[in-house]
Amino acid sequence: MNKRSFLSLIILIILGLGCRPISDSTLATPWQASITPTISRTPTNTTKIASPPFVDKDTPTMSPNELISPIDGMPQVYVPAGSLRMGGLDIHADKGDELPAHTVSFDGFWIDQLELTNAMYMLCVQAETCSSPKDWASNTRPQYFNVEAYKDYPVVHVTWEQANIYCSWANRRLPSEAEWERAARGDDFRNFPWGDEPASDKYVNFNNLVGDTSRVGSYTAGASPFGALDLAGNIWEWVFDLYANEYYKNSPEHNPLGPETNNTYQRVIRGGSYQDGGVNLRVSKRGSALGPNPNARYDDPNRNGEHSSKIGFRCLTSK
């Protein structure tokens, strides 16, 4: 090979390397929740992501009534066995939906202290168990789920099925609506998690005062009797139960799980959202949204159920 041919070969090799297609691994990616997030009992804007120690449910290291999930860093609070006067107890009670008020008894359980965050949900997506939220925006933020600034904000635009899959992945489950109401009301007859004072921005994100989600745990004055936060306002929360508006007429007296079937595939949501007025934040208020319909055609857009910028979830662990 003469000198000119050798130089031409070298130039072709260099050009070929420069034009090589970029692999997927070299593309810019959104932030990754590569370590487990934890949020302090009284969250602040300086809360950092850290990897929590393993916590055994029988020997919690925080206090007798608190533990941290070793899977996603979620702090949980304990709700002891007891009973609840479930249903509407005030003049706003919906006669077809919240009545009759009835007494229900429970075994003890641990419930997530906070609503499930974007960072926690991202862990399940990265584990290739959960699918991404159906929309990565929130009400006013075009980019939300994949933005580090909102990692400690509640995940939204997840269907009931996505929420259920997440809780299973995290070795927990969705709460029943009775368990949810027990965690919110406690042992007395209060109408809101914090008591009977009307809703205000001291206690809750509601009535479009913020216009979008708030960082989880921002309203510590609105804590329930057991220490759970954001059970009112911020976002509606999926619970396990199928919805039936007259279910309370024949609800079981111990650990009710909702009707076994319904014809609409509606699932119960609880707690109200950042857009709702105070009447929808009452602990007895029931809402519903479309859950998965396994009998729908595969091309039916409603097959997987509804999702919304106003709906998220939290999980629960049976004792």
272-315 pLDDT tens trace:
999 999 999 999 999 999 999 988 888 888 889 999 999 999 99
pLDDT at 2 over 70: no
CB 120 within 8 A of CB 73: yes
- What is the H or E stretch that residue 289 is in? strand 286-290
pLDDT at 38 over 50: no
pLDDT at 96: 80
Q: Where are the domains of the chain?
A: 29-319
CB 231 within 8 A of CB 175: no
**Fold designation for 29-319:** paralog of FGE (formylglycine-generating enzyme) (3.90.1580)
**Does residue 100 have a cis peptide bond before it, meaning omega lies within 30 degrees of 0?**
yes
Per-residue tokens: 242: 């199928």
Exposed / middle / buried, residue 138 (Cβ in 10 Å: 0-12, 13-18, 19+): buried
Q: How far apart are CA 213 and CA 124, in angstroms?
A: 21
User: C-alpha angle 254/259/263, rounded to 5°?
Assistant: 175
Torsion angle, alpha carbons of 21, 22, 24, 25, to 10: 140
First to last CA, the chain: 79
Strands ordered across the beta sheet of 109-112: 66-68, 75-79, 109-112, 316-318
Beta bridge partners of 68: 75
146: Cβ–Cβ under 8 A, 6 or more apart, which residues?
Answer: 30, 31, 136
| Total Cβ atoms within 10 A of residue 2 | 7
Give the pLDDT confidence of 206-259 residue by residue, as tens digits: 999 999 999 999 999 999 999 999 999 999 999 999 999 888 888 888 888 888
Give the pLDDT confidence of 189-217 residue by residue, as tens digits: 999 999 999 999 999 999 999 999 999 99
Query: What is the DSSP-derived secondary structure letter of residue 20?
Result: P
pLDDT at 102 over 70: yes
Helices (H), the chain: 3-18, 118-126, 160-169, 177-185
User: Which residue, chain included where needed, has tokens 């049976």?
Assistant: 318
